Structure 1
Amino acid sequence: MNGIIIRVFAAGLFIAVAHALRCYKCDVGVGTLCLTSEKTCAAGEQCFSGKAEAAGFLPIMTKGCLKTDECNKTSDTNIGDTNVTVYTILKTCCGTDLCNAAPGAPGLPLLPLLLASFTSLLVASVAV
């Protein structure tokens, strides 16, 4: 009897682990550039995408796993322990694998190109 209970428990654990939700994770992205990785969420979490504007014009985004009761709510991001709000972010959730948008890595080749162009201009202006 104990062997049956252990097998049923092991099967349930395997199914729970096998069906864990996978989400894209990006701590902070600016504009459309959000370098992502994949993350497996814990029980009671869903994938989320968060969008905000810092200083009223700089688009900020974040992605990852979020507790279900914190979904589809706004939250303030403050400077340290002060009450000065840097931005207010809306975190929208979804419940299927990798549903929180495509990875931001395709925008990555643009960043090295911009840095190389800026460096070239800087070196040219110093050389003249």
Structure 2
Amino acid sequence: MVLGWLLLLVSFLFPKVTGIKDCVFCELTDSTQCPGIHMRCGDDEDCFTGHGVAQGMGPIINKGCVHSTSCGREEPVSYMGLTYSLTTTCCAGHLCNGVAGPAKGAASLVLCLLLLLQRWL
């Protein structure tokens, strides 16, 4: 029974990487925080995080979905009247461009606890 719950939990925490996926979206911002909202991407799209720089200015970021052919490109974007050089970094997993730290750590902790429970039962 515990093994069944473990498999169900794993299927929700680590969905398939192929096909349609959800990514985090947020507009261009100069904030270090970009909580964003979830958006659905197409089959030929990957999640991305864009990092932009302009001489003498602080960095900007944005997140969303982009066609796979645009991954790794550096393109000019306009933000607050200035032109920034924005580099797109892509990832292929479900919500992979979101906040990585606590969520993945919590998932690992839950899996470890379930495995320990299975040994005791």
Show the counterpart of 1:63: 63
Moved more, 58-67 or 85-94: 85-94
Q: Partners in 2 of 1:35 and 1:101 — Cα distance?
A: 8
Query: Quick one: which of 83, 86, 110 aligns to 2:83?
Result: 86
CA distance in 2, matches of 1:26, 1:78: 16
1:1-50 deviations in Å (ceiling 9; x for gaps): xxxxxxxxxxxxxxxxxx52110000112131224000110120000000
Paired letter, 2:89: T
Q: Which amino acid aligns with 2:98?
A: A
Q: Where does the alignment leave 5 or more consecutive residues of structure 1 unmatched? A: 1-18, 104-128
The aligned residue for residue 32 of structure 2 is 32
Q: What TM-score comes out, normalization by structure 1 length?
A: 0.56
1:96 aligned residue: 93
TM-score, normalising length: structure 2:
0.59
Letter in 2 for 1:96: G
Judge conservation of contact 1:31–1:58 (CA < 8 Å) in 2.
Answer: no
How large is the RMSD of aligned CA atoms in angstroms? 2.4
Describe the superposition over 1:59-81 as per-residue Cα deviations: whole angstroms up to 9, x where unpaired.
100000000001111001258xx
Question: Which structure is richer in relative contact order (CA contacts within 8 A, separation 6 or more)?
Answer: 2
Q: Please give the alpha-carbon distance, in whole angstroms, between the structure 2 residues aligned to 1:31 and 1:85.
A: 16
Does structure 2 retain, via aligned residues, the 8 Å contact 1:55–1:86? no
Structure 2 distance, partners of 1:26, 1:85, is: 19
The percent identity for this pair of structures is: 30
Runs of 5+ consecutive residues of structure 2 not aligned to the other structure: 1-18, 101-121
Q: Which runs of 4+ in 1 moved over 4 A?
A: none
1:52-100 CA distance string (max 9 Å, x none): 1234322100000000001111001258xxxx97110000000000111
CA distance in structure 2 between the partners assigned to 1:62 and 1:20 by the alignment:
20
User: What is the aligned partner in structure 1 of residue 105 from structure 2?
Assistant: none
Mapped to 1, the partners of 2:93 and 2:56 lie a distance apart of 32
Matches of residues 6-25 of structure 1 in structure 2 within 5 Å? Answer: 19-25=19-25
